[in-house]
Structure 1
């Protein structure tokens, strides 16, 4: 008899815990998470064979809104009811459906691209990969977009050290994002639908913040949301104290230096 892989089971349970944590912070997520650089979205979709785009794991519609503004024909799919309600409230003209990457409520070949904003790492690609391939038209594009902190800027690197990986994790800064996303979020090769070699690109972006609103942004991260309250408040307090001590962030509004980083591949 094969022994159960408890390490894998623990990892999957932890991933489910983190991925299901956002609903409790849906209002704060909508208020404090950044949008996506338009140049990054255009690059992600430049090879798509048509304008029909699925925003998968759409959350409260941060990426959806950018897609709409750029003129794409968008349908959004989101598993969390609180997040979906926020999306429907802010973008009532968008077709927004309950569903997940592992069970997409769309017909075969019905979209020209599948995109995901800061969500692809939550997908179980063993299941989601075939589903994504199923709904994509021939030549369709799969793209994941992440907003990452530009830790090439000294004060941002310092914040990452103070806040720690629960708030600014391996996919939240450029160098480790490149490694973490190089292949892991693409469907496995083989089967009826295959994807070409993935490409990565990064585009300058920024978000206007104050010290308080930046701390509020950090508080919407999954690693923070699942923490015990006392530990969470202590960590956010350390981040707030750091920002209060830096001349770049101590008073008034500033621009948080970011990049919108993209991983894309095309169905062949």
Structure 2
């Protein structure tokens, strides 16, 4: 994805901020705890915080959280739902924080939107020595037969290659920032996945998939057709046709330490 495409996709969420806040899943608490495990202290930056899905879990774990988010509508939702959290407007490439001011930087379903060549040094700048950088992604568990079928029917705009465990590992292979500008800033990456799930009904799962960036930037006619296909698939499956069900997921984590 080139820079213009990244900007188009990453800026699409504001128009659906309320739906994002209502329908997107949180993160497995065990995944967030693992991400923070090596951090030297409790000061955490939630970068690309969106509407606060990851922020809320960090608060529940007792972290001293600062949230940074570039989109005004998303930031408004976060401030509404978590009024006690320090929430700032800003981008990964130009962080509104002083040097060595946080012990961990976490990004929930956001790191792939960053220009890492610029964001890497910025993240290293605000991290204290020995601090942790971790990206978290919720991916669907396509080892479950009906979930694999859903991914196939939905298409890459709704469930892309990065949204399954194997695809996620490939897509994040170059995101660990082992070297930036020839100088090492971060150590070797560690990865882990933690079981997670989201209680849904068919309509709310359709609404969740509709908040994916690929869906949001689609022409309206194509988007409506894709959502119709998804609804028809869910109606055809015994696992999802009647009442509530759990969407099987993993909260997958990529973790590195600042040198």
The verdict on a shared fold, with TM-score over 0.5 as the criterion, is: yes
1:191 positional shift: 6.0
SS of the aligned residue for 2:254 comes to strand
Q: Is the Cα contact below 8 Å between 1:120 and 1:144 reproduced in 2?
A: yes
Quote the Cα distance in structure 2 between the aligned partners of 1:191 and 1:89. 42
Q: Is the Cα contact below 8 Å between 2:199 and 2:246 reproduced in 1?
A: yes
Residue 23 of structure 1 pairs with residue 20 of structure 2: no
Q: Is the Cα contact below 8 Å between 2:139 and 2:251 reproduced in 1?
A: yes
4+ residue stretches of structure 1 with deviation over 6 A? none
Map 1:196-211 → 2, pairs under 5 A: 196-211=187-202
1:188 positional shift: 3.1
Quote the Cα distance in structure 2 between the aligned partners of 1:176 and 1:105. 33
Residue 181 of structure 1 pairs with residue 194 of structure 2: no
Quote the Cα distance in structure 2 between the aligned partners of 1:156 and 1:106. 41
User: Which runs of no fewer than 5 residues in structure 2 stay unpaired?
Assistant: none
Residue 195 of structure 1 pairs with residue 195 of structure 2: no
Quote the Cα distance in structure 2 between the aligned partners of 1:135 and 1:191. 19
SS of the aligned residue for 2:160 comes to coil
Instruction: Give TM-score scaled by structure 1 length.
Output: 0.95
The corresponding residue for 2:120 is 129
The corresponding residue for 2:252 is 261
Q: List per-residue Cα deviations over 1:122-150 (Å, max 9, x = no partner).
A: 00011101100000000000000000000
Quote the Cα distance in structure 1 between the aligned partners of 2:234 and 2:179. 42
1:12 positional shift: 1.3
The corresponding residue for 1:46 is 37
Q: Is the Cα contact below 8 Å between 2:132 and 2:258 reproduced in 1?
A: yes
Quote the Cα distance in structure 1 between the aligned partners of 2:33 and 2:182. 29
User: Which runs of no fewer than 5 residues in structure 1 stay unpaired?
Assistant: 1-9
**Counterpart selection for 2:73 from 77, 82, 98:** 82
1:226 positional shift: 0.1
- What root-mean-square deviation, in Å, do the aligned CA atoms of Structure 1 and Structure 2 show? 1.1
